[in-house]
Structure 1
Amino acid sequence: MRSGLTFAAVVFLLVECARGQSGLEVYSADPFVLLKVKESLQDRKSPFLPAYERLLRDAEKALDVTPPSVVSKDRVPQGGSKHDYMSLSRYWWPDPSKPNGLPYIRKDGETNPETADYRDHDKYVVMASSVSTLGLAYFFSGREEFAKHAARLVRTWYLDSATAMSPHLEYSQSIPGRSTGRGTGILDGRHIALVLDAVGMIRGSQSWTDKDQSGILYWCNAYVRWLTESDKGKDEADATNNHGTWYDAHVTSVALFVGRKDMALQVVQAASEKRIFAQISPDGGQPEETARTRPWNYCVFNLEAFARLATQAQRLNVDLWKAKGADGRSLRQAVDYLLPFALEKKEWPFKDIDGLRPEMIVPVLLWATASSGEPVYLQAARSIGGSRLREIRPVLLTGVVIP
């Protein structure tokens, strides 16, 4: 299977090198890889230059992002305050058979436009995406203005008493007439992993202070307690689909950031049985996801969570990519299952209201390449991604060289 492109041509790094020795505190990417990519960028012929140049363009745009805050909203959750994050469950709609539309009813895969009225989610995504972009751009370029604005965004969302978000998601994904929030709403907060990695990247800058670091650690300690001890957190931990996988990646990212390696290790050590073998069938299918109205989206979405969790697990010397059940079920089997459909060699057999979008799987293919060195994944990524593949962010995060 390794014929064609050699291992050295496929992956930039030596994965067998010791991990965690870089001093760079990031957990959803390999710090050793990031340092090797940064070293490569000193050469103007670096294979990572197209992705780096695009990153800088994105960072320049992010400098113009006005710091968002959860307090900038008209709605206040029942029993809460403006500091509490709130959102509406996207697939729940007014019941047309009821005069007031209550309680709402579920339409899987159909987004209720009312979600746009609950602005915390969109603001959170903008904040996290901008901080991630700025942090990575600062790490590679050393340009202080990127660190400065990333720090400003983080302070506004998490640290400043007038604008900070409360360290919980009690009011996330509410359903009018049914609940003010649900455990499934914890999924909204998964982007914190990107924020915390960016904090690790700007920590050595002039713009991020010891007070900032103490503040974000205090916030995250409270948050991870809520994630693991609240009723909603416990409900989400028991989820048997992508929600459960993302919950594990969510908790692990925060636990590692605050130094709770014991908590993180407990999560990743259980993941083989609890997540991989429970969710992936022997042929690589994901029955919980293919039962949805948007099966392709959710199959890939779940693999994105697995890829993040596997990267975090590597920091704890747990290799989830190599976990394999007695009947063959594994992460790689799940990726292999989707490949012929992504490459249009087989027809997607499930009803899908979105249709099949092959480009969605490209980042997963790069993570699979980085973890295994198998040329088949890079070849598939090149076939799907085309000439733009060299420009995408996961190239920088995985250290995969695009020939």
Structure 2
Amino acid sequence: MRAWERPEIVSVPGESNAPWLHDTKTDSLVLAEPLDSARLYVCGITPYDATHIGHANTYLAFDTLQRVWIDAGYRVHYAQNVTDVDDPLLERATATGVHWRDLAESQVELFRTDMKALGIIPPNDFVAVTEVIDEIAAAVAVLQEAGLAYPVPTGDAIAEADGTIAVDLYFDIRAAEASTGWALGDESNLDLDSMLRLFAERGGDPDRAGKRDPLDPLLWKAARSGEPAWESPVGAGRPGWHIECSVIALKELGIDFTVQGGGSDLIFPHHDMSAGHAQALSGHPLAGVYSHTGMVAYQGEKMSKSLGNLVLVSGLRAQGIDPRAIRLALLARHYRTDWEWTDALLEEAIARLSVWSAAFGASAVSAAKNAASMEAPGTAASLVQSLRLALRHDLNTPEALKLVDDAAAGQLDDVSLVNRAISALLGVAL
């Protein structure tokens, strides 16, 4: 699948190092230092209601991580999926009378447009689930052959061509724990009651008859009337939710990659289950660090598709809001905190962009080059080093913004250097 155009990332003089990043699994800051290239997987959208500010907040956080790695001299290999066949998408397509493929295609294109406008670095591998159906089905077959997947009969599935009663296939958590070294909850650190609650809230089916454990997740859904399905070695049907990311991540990034990222609402069940599937398939952990962004609220409620309280990037852009201001509004809150989007926050970002542009924009750079002298200039190199330190410490963008705010109120000896640093590290071209 085609991604979007990559923004220009200028180089900045000086040296930096790998960042310290919060790891959900250990609830601590760990050094996200690649062994070779930095390999990053961030879970992508289910393409409807794209792109809301919560989406943008997540992808901007991992854009910042990539910029820190790139500034430190690392090569980055970034993969992201698009869940272009799933129950919520099919339900929306039915409700709106649009074919599910058309809905997905239009929303993915809107997502691309928004990401490009915001200056987000695109993934090297932008993979739709419908592009890897064969690989997912083969992975499910491997799990079944290893005794880590089992059938559950279903009354509403379409019978196979030979008359065989179709079945759904589920991941056997207890068998996987016994044979792989992975354990449910390793990444989320949740207790059983919390897991059961979140599993039911986030697409799971703990009360499904015939399952060996209420938390066993669906791997392969047998074909139903009126739903898309593909022929496969495990029967006609389509993938469950979590297996897709395991297969795509292993295919594009390999085992034990650097960082698995996404919103905090994916910690459980999605990332816990994805890690289990991947370890069962490969015999190795999925990722070295599990990093998650906070939730964005609006009008007192968590911003979500189900509640319908969405602020869309495309809507703000249609109002004439500069995408750089949207970016600055998001950077003003730390990536892993929960916070609320407000008009005041956006107005503050618009004002900040104006101040920065006057202090460090193209006209300021030109004026500084033409100036014969400056009174008591500060050291731009010192500011850049402080920016690097702030971002290397768990992507502390609020501190980085404050450093630039303070610098804009004074004078610096190299405005051009600051301009390049703001563009490269914060993604704001002035």
TM-score range, shorter chain: under 0.3
| TM-score scaled by length of structure 2 | 0.24
| TM-score scaled by length of structure 1 | 0.25
Structure with higher strand content: 2
Structure with higher helix content: 1
